[in-house]
Amino acid sequence: MTSTPAWTTEKPTALLVLADGTVIEGKGIGATGKATAEVCFNTALTGYQEILTDPSYLGQIVTFTFPHIGNTGANDEDIEDLTPAARNGAVGVIFKADITDPSNYRASRHLDRWLKERGVIGLSGIDTRALTAWIRDNGAPNAVIAHDPNGVFDIEALKAEARQWTGLLGRDLAKTATSGQSSRWNETTWVWNEGYGEQAEGDAKHHIVALDYGVKRNILRLFTSLGCKVTVLPATASAEDVLGHKPDGVFLSNGPGDPAATGEYAVPVIRALIDAGLPIFGICLGHQMLGLALGATTEKMHQGHRGGNHPVKDHTTGKVEIVSMNHGFAVSTQSLPEGVEETHVSLFDGSNCGLRVLGKPIFSVQHHPEASPGPQDSHYLFRRFINLVRERKGEPAIAEHA
């Protein structure tokens, strides 16, 4: 990959410096300063605000392959991290084109202003297609993204920082991404021209405890919209904390970092919950740590899966669905122990995207069935989980596909 930008300026105001010494020059946007992180790419066409606030992107710089980002501005609703004040999500962002003025009735501010408010450092005006191709060939690199309006950079120092950063392997980021406290979630899914609703008193029929490793809001909204009382507990909650709430089921959330590192304290808790016989549902990091708790292993992927157009096959139905993805680690299919069945598989590379425990009400998926952004093909998985809860309570099942 060449270090020459797609357009030239007299003086670049932002740089992306890769660990191999490559320097990519561009125009600075968003917050000023610098951040060291892993560079990845996302192929989604919409939903940039939800992507940038997904806690699973903590420790990463997101390159958008779609060239026009920012056209719909930003608002206070389309955020996915549970505690926005903590600014969990991507630390950097890379665009091909300049951000245009917002053109959407829901916009409350320009995307550039929103990036500044969240402390996200940005770079625009580069050949994002070339960067994406480089990542596909070489893997997600460690890098430093830096923005200085005056264009003053110590390039050798930035190269050293990128080279010395140890990356995401072995890093527990769930403790950073978690809300860190117990809370009740009441918000329901978005309705056209009405916005987000609130769960009415008496609507909750099933109690779900969600372990928050960096949970997305839309996951919790889907639970409340299906008649669940949702209690959110921090990543470090013990099995006794969870069982003390007398839940009907347990949810293991998405989140950032290396599952093996987070699993050092989370896996023993998950194993105790498995032994308790409760229905369990995991997504993303929660899926990976459930795999570890069952005896499987996880591995760092070459480039990861990130976007809203990934084909996944559900072996239980034989159907192919288009899903939202965001992960750089995966459960090794070959490591799945006896009694654990692979339920979903990526049709891009054959990697594991789901599992279930035979004879027990326990399953998980690697992709993001809640979308936000992305297609809603996989919403049925939430109803599948609720049916496991209903079965345990002796209640009739609901239709899995609404």
Q: What are the residue numbers of the active site?
A: 284, 368, 370
Q: How many CB atoms lie within 10 A of CB 401?
A: 9
Cβ atoms of residues 50 and 81 within 8 Å? no
Between vectors from CA 222 to CA 219 and to CA 226, what angle results, nearest 5°? 145
Question: Which residue in this structure is represented by tokens 């561009």?
Answer: 26
Between vectors from CA 193 to CA 187 and to CA 197, what angle results, nearest 5°? 15
Q: How far is CA 157 from CA 17, 73, 100, 199, in A?
A: 10, 35, 33, 52
134: its two tokens? 């480089």
Distance, in Å, from the CA atom of 112 to the CA atom of 95, rounded to the nearest integer, reads: 12
Give the residue among 252, 322, 327, 258 at the shortest CA–CA distance from 294: 252
Instruction: List phi, psi (to 5°) of 116.
Output: -60, -45
Distance, in Å, from the CA atom of 89 to the CA atom of 311, rounded to the nearest integer, reads: 25
User: Strand 280-283 and strand 319-331: pairing?
Assistant: unpaired
Give residue 23's Cα distance to chain centre.
28
Cβ atoms of residues 92 and 61 within 8 Å? yes
Of all helices (H) and strands (E), which one includes residue 113?
A: helix 111-118
Distance, in Å, from the CA atom of 115 to the CA atom of 388, rounded to the nearest integer, reads: 41
Of all helices (H) and strands (E), which one includes residue 126?
A: none
What single letter denotes the amino acid at residue 369?
P
Give the residue among 250, 252, 254 at the shortest CA–CA distance from 279: 250
Question: Which residue in this structure is represented by tokens 């372990």?
Answer: 211
Burial classification of residue 273, based on how many CB atoms lie within 10 Å of its CB (0-12 exposed, 13-18 middle, 19 or more buried): buried
Distance, in Å, from the CA atom of 47 to the CA atom of 372, rounded to the nearest integer, reads: 7
The length of the chain is 402
